[in-house]
Structure 1
Amino acid sequence: MEFRQNLSQRIVIAFVLMSTLVAGTFAMGIVKTVHFVEERLLSAELGGDLDRLLKMESMDDWRLRPEPEQLFHFSGGYGDFALPDDLKDLEPGFHEVFRDDQAFHAFVRIVDGRRYVLLQDQSEYEKREQILFAVVWGGFLFSIALALLLGRLLARKVIEPVVRLSRQVRHPDQLLPLAPPLAPDYAADEVGQLAAAFDATLGLLRQALNRERMFTSDVSHELRTPLMVLASSSELLLENPLLEPRARKQVLRIARATQEMRELVQTFLTLARAEQGQGVQPEVEVRSIADELVEQWREPIESKGLILEYRPEAQLCGPFNPTLLRTVMGNLLRNAWHYTEQGHVCLLLQEDGFVVEDSGVGIPEHEREAMFQPFVRGGKQRGDGLGLGLSLVQRICAAQGWMVQLSAVEPSGCRFRVVLRPGAAG
Structure 2
Amino acid sequence: MPQGLPNRIRDAFTFQAVIAGMTLIVCVMTAAFIGREVVARQWLRAEADAWWQVRRTDAAYPPPFGVNLQGYFLPDDGELQAIVSGDRAVANLVWFKGAPEGFSSRRDTEGVLLVDRREGGTLYLAASLSLFDRILALAAGGLALLMVATMFVVSWMTYRTSKRMVLPIHRLADEVGRWNPSDDDDGVPPALSPRSDAGREAQALSSALHGLGERIGSFVRREREFTRDASHELRTPLTVIRVASDMIAADPATPPHQQRPLLRIRRATQDMEAVIDALLVLARERGVMPQSEVFDVVEVIEEELDKVRPLFEGKQLTLDLDIRSRPKLDAPPRVLGVMLGHLLRNGWAFTESGGVDVVVERDRIIVRDTGIGMSADVLKRVYDPFYRADPFAQSGKGIGLSIVRRLGTRFGWPVALESAPGEGTTVTIVLGDRLV
TM over 0.5: yes
**Does 1:329 find its partner at 2:340?**
yes
Output aligned runs, 1:9-48, within 5 Å: 9-22=4-17, 24-41=19-36, 44-45=39-40
Tell me how far 1:368 sits from its aligned partner: 2.2
Residue in structure 2 matched with residue 390 of structure 1 by the alignment = 401
Q: Do the aligned partners of 1:72 and 1:118 also contact (CA within 8 Å) in 2?
A: no
Q: Do the aligned partners of 1:165 and 1:195 also contact (CA within 8 Å) in 2?
A: no
Q: Do the aligned partners of 1:173 and 1:179 also contact (CA within 8 Å) in 2?
A: no
**Does 1:215 find its partner at 2:226?**
yes
Q: Do the aligned partners of 2:181 and 2:220 also contact (CA within 8 Å) in 1?
A: no
* Residues 140, 283 of structure 1: alpha-carbon distance in 2 compared, 3 angstrom cutoff: farther
Comparing 146-155 with 225-234, greater Cα deviation is found at: 146-155
Tell me how far 1:320 sits from its aligned partner: 2.6
Q: Deviations over 1:382-421 (max 9, x none)?
A: 6664322222223323333432233334763333333333
Q: 1:142 aligns with which of 148, 152, 155?
A: 152
SS of residue in 1 equivalent to 2:432 = coil
Q: 2:278 aligns with which of 267, 280, 300?
A: 267
**2-side partners of 1:368 and 1:46: how far apart?**
91
SS of residue in 1 equivalent to 2:110 = strand
Q: Do the aligned partners of 2:321 and 2:358 also contact (CA within 8 Å) in 1?
A: yes
**Does 1:166 find its partner at 2:176?**
yes
Q: Deviations over 1:157-214 (max 9, x none)?
A: 5437635763785576666178776689989944443344344433433333333233
**Does 1:63 find its partner at 2:67?**
no
Q: Do the aligned partners of 1:24 and 1:140 also contact (CA within 8 Å) in 2?
A: no
Gap regions ≥5 residues in structure 2: 49-64, 117-124
SS of residue in 2 equivalent to 1:340 = coil
**1-side partners of 2:391 and 2:265: how far apart?**
28
Residue in structure 2 matched with residue 89 of structure 1 by the alignment = none
Q: For 1:323, give the aligned amino acid.
A: R
* Residues 179, 280 of structure 1: alpha-carbon distance in 2 compared, 3 angstrom cutoff: farther
Q: Do the aligned partners of 1:331 and 1:393 also contact (CA within 8 Å) in 2?
A: yes
Q: CA RMSD in A?
A: 4.9
**Does 1:312 find its partner at 2:323?**
yes
* Residues 194, 128 of structure 1: alpha-carbon distance in 2 compared, 3 angstrom cutoff: closer
Q: Deviations over 1:292-333 (max 9, x none)?
A: 223333443354344445333344333333222222222122
Whose radius of gyration is greater, 1 or 2? Answer: 2
TM-score when normalising by structure 2: 0.70
Residue in structure 2 matched with residue 3 of structure 1 by the alignment = none
**2-side partners of 1:184 and 1:48: how far apart?**
65
TM-score when normalising by structure 1: 0.71
**2-side partners of 1:218 and 1:305: how far apart?**
39
Q: Do the aligned partners of 1:56 and 1:64 also contact (CA within 8 Å) in 2?
A: no
**2-side partners of 1:105 and 1:383: how far apart?**
107
**1-side partners of 2:360 and 2:305: how far apart?**
12
Comparing 283-292 with 189-198, greater Cα deviation is found at: 189-198
Q: Do the aligned partners of 1:359 and 1:412 also contact (CA within 8 Å) in 2?
A: yes
Output aligned runs, 1:344-359, within 5 Å: 344-359=355-370
**2-side partners of 1:40 and 1:288: how far apart?**
103
Residue in structure 2 matched with residue 258 of structure 1 by the alignment = 269
**2-side partners of 1:131 and 1:406: how far apart?**
73
Q: 1:193 aligns with which of 185, 196, 204?
A: 204
Q: Deviations over 1:104-138 (max 9, x none)?
A: 783466969xxx99886699779757754663464
**1-side partners of 2:356 and 2:183: how far apart?**
42
Residue in structure 1 matched with residue 110 of structure 2 by the alignment = 106
Output aligned runs, 1:369-408, within 5 Å: 369-379=380-390, 385-408=396-419
Q: Do the aligned partners of 2:349 and 2:395 also contact (CA within 8 Å) in 1?
A: no
Q: 1:287 aligns with which of 298, 323, 331?
A: 298
SS of residue in 2 equivalent to 1:335 = helix
* Residues 200, 140 of structure 1: alpha-carbon distance in 2 compared, 3 angstrom cutoff: closer
**2-side partners of 1:379 and 1:232: how far apart?**
33
Q: For 2:337, give the aligned amino acid.
A: R
Gap regions ≥5 residues in structure 1: 1-5, 84-91, 98-103
SS of residue in 2 equivalent to 1:363 = coil
* Residues 319, 159 of structure 1: alpha-carbon distance in 2 compared, 3 angstrom cutoff: same
SS of residue in 2 equivalent to 1:415 = strand
* Residues 19, 178 of structure 1: alpha-carbon distance in 2 compared, 3 angstrom cutoff: closer
Q: Do the aligned partners of 1:336 and 1:360 also contact (CA within 8 Å) in 2?
A: yes
**2-side partners of 1:223 and 1:33: how far apart?**
87
Q: For 2:271, give the aligned amino acid.
A: E
Q: Do the aligned partners of 2:172 and 2:206 also contact (CA within 8 Å) in 1?
A: no
Q: Do the aligned partners of 1:47 and 1:107 also contact (CA within 8 Å) in 2?
A: no
SS of residue in 2 equivalent to 1:56 = strand
**Does 1:154 find its partner at 2:164?**
yes
Q: For 1:176, give the aligned amino acid.
A: D
Comparing 328-337 with 56-65, greater Cα deviation is found at: 56-65
